[in-house]
Amino acid sequence: MSKVNSGMGRAVAEGGKRDATGPKRPKPDRRDAGAPRVDPINLKRAEKAAVEAARSVGLLMRRHLAETKHANEQSQYDIKLELDVRAQKIIERTLRSAFPNVALLGEEGVSGKPGAEHRWVVDPIDGTVNFAYGIPHACVSIALQAKAPGEKESVYADGYQTLVGVVYDPFVDEIWTASRGNPPRLNGRVIKVSNRTRLEECLVSIGFAKTKETLEKTLPYFNQLAHRVRKIRMMGAAALGLAYVATGRLDAYVEQGIRLWDVAAGGFILECAGGEFWREPTDTEQGYRMIATNGLLREALQVPV
Ligand code: IPD
Ligand code: CA
């Protein structure tokens, strides 16, 4: 095991088609039409359990932010902490006691019946590198998904669709919640995406992912985009990036190599807020490339193939 020093001081992101009358936002997907029919789970109860689990991990994250942390693995572009594993265990315990039959797919491992009707998709600490270095920009991301029939846009490559999404930033105590059929909220207040359409006024966040390939693909894109937008941001926590787009703080978030647990909750919250969460699967297991926007910018932000 190696150690990672954090900084000392705890200081404290389909289809926006255009026509002659201007850009149109795709209809907000209020998630009713495509809802799977078999749904014995009470979504409000599920949201409550996810909030409780996220807040418990938030305590752990706050407590350890400024400390030196044990790294289980380190590579050129990534770190995996022992605290990531601990955080997932806390989440598993809380969710299992409320919903014993729901499986769990997490960044730190899976549990429950493979192919279960429902599963939690969990990123116990998103923004691990920030957190490891003592930067208070990281979050907990928890989604509840159900198997869904057909190939609707909202259905992921392996046939699941999100029903509930919770993203929690413990360092500023901001919690985003959404459940199918209800408007998404930040600390209880309804949120929606921005309505900016001109790239030169937009704040666009980019994620560089974790491999040499994604890095090499993203660098030229970054170089071009930097001249077209007001500012580019690289903030290091994909789930928070998506939540920020859902809240209208950012106008878009683009990344070439994310995994399902990074985006299941945030992407759902964004769609519920009227945004567009375009993604397509990559060769990596549960891997996707994504262009997440306020619903008006996808064409302008296409990544050259
Ligand atoms: C990562 C962060 C990062 C994004 C990576 C993710 P992790 O998640 O969200 O911002 O660029 O693609 O894997 O490792 O911090 O949970
Ligand atoms: Ca993550």
Whole-number pLDDT of residue 154: 85
Structural domains of the chain, ranges and CATH numbers in brackets: 43-190 (3.30.540.10), 199-301 (3.40.190.80)
CA separation for the pair 292, 281 (Å, rounded) = 14
Whole-number pLDDT of residue 78: 86
Whole-number pLDDT of residue 51: 98
CA separation for the pair 301, 305 (Å, rounded) = 12
Ligand in closest contact with the CA of 127: 1
Q: How far is the CA of 208 from the centre of ligand 1 (A)?
A: 9
| Ligand 1 near 126 CB (within 6 A) | yes
**For residues 246 and 176, is the Cβ–Cβ distance under 8 A?**
yes
Q: What is the total residue count of the chain?
A: 305
Whole-number pLDDT of residue 11: 28
Report the atom number in ligand 1 closest to the C-alpha of 128: 15
Q: How far is the CA of 36 from the centre of ligand 1 (A)?
A: 29
Mean pLDDT (the chain, rounded): 89
| Ligand 1 near 238 CB (within 6 A) | yes
Whole-number pLDDT of residue 25: 60
Q: Which residue has the tokens 């003592």?
A: 134
Substitution site in 76, 84, 169, 210 for ligand 1 pocket (most atoms within 8 Å of beta carbon)? 210
**For residues 68 and 4, is the Cβ–Cβ distance under 8 A?**
yes
Whole-number pLDDT of residue 10: 26
Whole-number pLDDT of residue 1: 44
pTM of the prediction? 0.89
pLDDT in tens, 120-145: 999 999 999 999 999 999 999 999 99
| Nearest CA owner, ligand 1 atom 16 | 126
Whole-number pLDDT of residue 27: 55
Extract the residue ranges of the chain whose pLDDT is less than 50.
1, 6-22, 28-38
Substitution site in 126, 205, 242, 254 for ligand 1 pocket (most atoms within 8 Å of beta carbon)? 126
| Ligand 1 near 236 CB (within 6 A) | yes
Tell which residue, 136, 130, 159, has the closest CA to residue 260: 159
CA separation for the pair 188, 221 (Å, rounded) = 36
| Nearest CA owner, ligand 1 atom 15 | 127
Q: How far is the CA of 128 from the centre of ligand 1 (A)?
A: 7
Residue 189 CA: distances (Å) to CA of 125, 186, 195:
24, 5, 18
Whole-number pLDDT of residue 19: 34
